[in-house]
Amino acid sequence: MGIGAVGPDELQARFGIPEILRFEAGAKGLVRAVVCAPQAEAEVYLQGAHVTHYQPRGDRAVLFLSERSRFDRGAAIRGGVPIVFPWFGPKAGEPSAPMHGFARLAEWGVESATQAPDGSVTMVLGLDSESAALPNWPRPCSLRYRVVVGETLALALDVHNRGDTAISYEEALHTYLAVGDVRQVSVTGLAGARYIDKTDGMKRKLQETAFVRITDETDRVYLGTKTTCVLDDPVAGRRFTVEKSGSDATVIWNPWTAKAKAMPDFGDEEWPRMLCIETGNVADHAMTLAPGQRHEMRAMIRSLPR
């Protein structure tokens, strides 16, 4: 299931691409891949298979990364695109289990790295639940994550049930988008959808307006959503599109003031500069895979002039 828990020199010798892809020690010694494709640059930490940076040529960074991200071994990185698996939020009945699951904390292995004729770079990372001895999850399964860095950032998470009984899980690509001022942005693509409002006692509500606007702490799980979301950012003068497949839920999240101050790995005044639009299968849309079955969830993130 790929090479994990090894140094950057060995990874560079096997998977490096001269002037295009290198492996190095990143923040606090965590191994990262640095991609310098013709169309864009990116950084991917092997801990969590975590994309922390993506920036198209001639544009600004697409992803928000907190200045207080800890980059401690075995701790989640705040920002970028964390992988949520196999539960969303706290695990029911197990308060000691890690928030949002173990995938964003584990060391992933590198399976392959290639450059396409158009210049885009594809990395495939893997995680095996048995060899990784993952806590709180005794079920044999394999994860494969494909990251394509080009004119768009294309992400695909494949889950394979390798056991002899069915498995149920939740998953999300917890994408933090960098915005000029979250109070000025609007999101389309969710009109008419039902959502769970996690800031209001998990009440179920209807998105009655065409635009989602952020005016307070926002934590919504939109259900039955397959469409592309478009984030319009007038302050930064650009738009983001988040296109997806294999996903039936979309999460919109911003911590606002009080929650931002309560998080030690998030700056008190950083909340206006980010909005999460998460591609997922959570809550009502948790996945169940029969023995031998697999499922792929994909997200494609694009930055465009406004």
Q: What is the pLDDT of residues 8-63, one digit of tens each?
A: 999 999 999 999 999 999 999 999 999 999 999 999 999 999 999 999 999 999 99
Place of tokens 């979301």: 229
Residue 71 has pLDDT above 70, yes or no: yes
CA dihedral angle for residue 213, residue 226, residue 169, residue 216, rounded to 10 degrees: 0
Task: State the average pLDDT for the chain.
Answer: 95
CB-based contacts of 151, cutoff 8 Å, min separation 6 = 39, 40, 56, 120, 302
Confidence of residue 93 (pLDDT cuts 50, 70, 90): confident
Catalytic: 24?
no
Confidence of residue 5 (pLDDT cuts 50, 70, 90): low
Catalytic: 174?
yes
Q: Please tell me which residue in 43, 170, 174, 270 is annotated as part of the active site.
A: 174
Place of tokens 């990372």: 125
> What's the first-to-final CA gap in the chain, in angstroms?
42
Residue 224 has pLDDT above 80, yes or no: yes
Concatenating the DSSP letter of every residue in 49-62 gives TEEEEEEETTS--S
Q: Please tell me which residue in 278, 285, 295, 296 is annotated as part of the active site.
A: 278
Residue 132 has pLDDT above 70, yes or no: no
Q: Is 29 helix (H, G, I), strand (E, B) or coil?
A: helix
